[in-house]
Amino acid sequence: MTFSALDSAITGPLFAADAMRAVFDDRARIAAMLRVEAALARAEAKSGLVDKALAPAIDRISPAAFDLAALGRETAVAGVPVIPFVRALQGKLPQKLRASVHFATTTQDIADTALVLQVAEAFDLIAVDLREVLGGLARLARRHRATPCVGRSYGQHAAPVTFGYVVATWLAGIGEAAAQLPALRQRVLALSLGGPVGTLTGLGGHADSVRAAMARDLGLAAPAASWHTLRGRMAEAGTWVAVLIGALAKMATDVARLAATEVGEVAEPHAPGRGGSSAMPHKRNPVAATVILAAHAAAAGYVVTLLNAMAAEYQRPAGLWHAEWHALPALFGLASGALRESRALAAGLVVDTARMKANLDITGGMPMAGGVAAALVPSLGRDKAHRLVAEAADAARDRAGSFAALVLAAAPGKSRPAVEAALSTAPAIDAAAAAVPPIVAEARAVRARLAPAKRKS
């Protein structure tokens, strides 16, 4: 039985990328815990606290050597997976080394640090996807920098823009989230090593040296304070992932709306069988937008779980820390599916420039109403100018004629040259086109900073 659409053999491939699912699968968790225990053993051996043979012996053990079903049964009794894991690990080591395993640490140290190692891999996958999304959208924005289309406010025609500007807006939002990733890595990717209550009493005077050596070994930061009950790192990581999904969802929302039959300005890249309907053979549903928007709708609840976990009592909470295990991997899973679909949109979105031009012209110049009103102010005053334009717009909506013809007919003779100039879309198109290059340049700089960090594996 599966309790999550992300884990399901049926729906999992729809909502999460295989590479991300592999990062957080059970074998990957065991591999991460083995890395942590080996790094701890190496650091403690340097201080003469454990046998130098312990770390190499741990390194030789494969994650595949562990019985997942047995670990699951024992975790249900112990309350945390680290306890049966350590017991199983000891059983795979020479007798003389068993007592030294897990020396002076605690279950949460191993679980948290292992999770951080998985998060580090997850960040790397996200960085790769983000580079592709940013690059694809930058190319799309440049290609359509001067392609006229209508800007919409409250779902209604507002003023002319360009499709390149629309894409650049998506690019800017995603770029803003992406720009935070390098600094986020520095804050989140931190060693957890505190011992039973965070003081590392069992290491005596070696605590600082062991912490520093272990952190170097794993390529992690070494915070001075134990973060057993300081869950801001996990909350920040999850919140950032949700914000990133939200930025992708802005694009997905626009794509879904612009792909509607009545609008028809874009279409998702199509493949046989994609986006079909069991009842309506003609349908091409926007699958990419659907996956992204589903991720966005689901993400907020997981963020709340992580924020709730920050209210941890004393030196170790009951339940709140465990709740993170439901939330953080799921957020990364949702992000992976959303990013996969965003890559497809960035690389292959189908743009119908003729339909964009037709939609822009469909109201006969009404998107230029603001400029027309401004052109009439010198001769009519503000109130009369706005009233004349509003009445022309109402008449155009009642099919009495095109907005441009109606407003020109109603305008005072001396104002008509200015009104005719105001009805031109060129200034608005030029302004929208001019906004694209700076956004693209900024995104290019963000993209360059997203190379995955080099860490020991």
Q: Are residues 300 and 418 in the same domain?
A: no
Q: In the beta sheet, which residues pair with residue 161? A: 149
Which residue is it, tokens 């957890």? 192
Q: Which residue, among 307, 316, 313, has the nearest Cα to 228 in the 3D structure?
A: 316
Q: Which residue, among 226, 223, 427, 393, has the nearest Cα to 316 in the 3D structure?
A: 226
More confident call, 22 vs 400? 22
Number of neighbours of residue 182 by Cβ within 10 angstroms: 15
- Joined together, the tokens standing for residue 251 give 């694009």
User: Can you say whether residue 112 is alpha, beta or left, with left for phi > 0 and alpha for psi between -120 and 50 degrees?
Assistant: alpha
- Asked which of 305, 329, 356 is the last residue of a domain, the reply is 356
Q: pLDDT band at residue 272, thresholds of 50, 70 and 90?
A: low
Q: Are residues 320 and 406 in the same domain?
A: no
Q: Are residues 417 and 285 in the same domain?
A: no
Q: Are residues 283 and 407 in the same domain?
A: no
Residue 11, in any domain of the structure: no
Q: Which domain holds residue 275?
A: 106-356
Asked if residue 283 has pLDDT above 80, the reply is: no
Number of neighbours of residue 56 by Cβ within 10 angstroms: 12
Residue 453 pLDDT = 56
Residue 280 pLDDT = 37
Q: Are residues 281 and 163 in the same domain?
A: yes
Average pLDDT over residues 369-382: 92
Instruction: Please give the single-letter amino acid code of residue 44.
Output: E
Q: Are residues 194 and 295 in the same domain?
A: yes
Asked if residue 452 has pLDDT above 70, the reply is: no
Is residue 39 within 8 Å of residue 217, measured between CB atoms?
Answer: yes
Q: Are residues 255 and 122 in the same domain?
A: yes
Asked if residue 281 has pLDDT above 80, the reply is: no
Asked if residue 282 has pLDDT above 90, the reply is: no
Asked if residue 298 has pLDDT above 70, the reply is: yes
CATH of the domain at 318: 1.20.200.10
Could you tell me where the beta strands, DSSP code E, fall in 107-265?
148-153, 156-162
Asked if residue 349 has pLDDT above 80, the reply is: yes
Asked if residue 39 has pLDDT above 90, the reply is: yes
Average pLDDT over residues 278-286: 52
Rounded to 5°, the CA angle 384-386-392 comes to 100
Residue 98, in any domain of the structure: no
Residue 313, in any domain of the structure: yes
- Asked which of 331, 356, 381 is the last residue of a domain, the reply is 356
- Asked which of 305, 331, 356 is the last residue of a domain, the reply is 356
Q: Are residues 211 and 157 in the same domain?
A: yes
Q: Are residues 388 and 300 in the same domain?
A: no
For the chain, percent of residues with pLDDT exceeding 70:
95
Range name among 12-21, 279-288, 295-304 with the lowest pLDDT average: 279-288
More confident call, 153 vs 457? 153
Q: pLDDT band at residue 276, thresholds of 50, 70 and 90?
A: very low
CA distance linking residue 11 with residue 297, whole number of Å: 16
Helix axes 287-308, 232-258, angle to 10 degrees: 160
Residue 350 parent element (H or E):
strand 350-351
CA distance linking residue 131 with residue 138, whole number of Å: 11
Q: Which residue, among 179, 185, 24, has the nearest Cα to 120 in the 3D structure?
A: 185
Residue 48, in any domain of the structure: no
Number of domains, the chain: 2
CA distance linking residue 167 with residue 254, whole number of Å: 10
Q: Are residues 305 and 350 in the same domain?
A: yes
Q: Are residues 337 and 373 in the same domain?
A: no
Question: What is the CB-side half-sphere exposure of residue 105 using CA atoms within 13 A?
Answer: 32
Average pLDDT over residues 311-324: 92
Residue 389 pLDDT = 92
Average pLDDT over residues 295-314: 96
Question: What is the CB-side half-sphere exposure of residue 112 using CA atoms within 13 A?
Answer: 25
Average pLDDT over residues 151-165: 95
Residue 14, in any domain of the structure: no
Instruction: Please give the single-letter amino acid code of residue 302.
Output: Y
CA distance linking residue 340 with residue 85, whole number of Å: 34
φ/ψ of residue 2, rounded to 5: -120, 140
Asked if residue 269 has pLDDT above 90, the reply is: no
* Active site amino acids: 277, 316
Asked if residue 311 has pLDDT above 90, the reply is: yes
Average pLDDT, the chain: 93
Residue 234, in any domain of the structure: yes
Range name among 99-113, 203-217, 275-289 with the lowest pLDDT average: 275-289
Average pLDDT over residues 133-162: 96
Q: Are residues 189 and 236 in the same domain?
A: yes
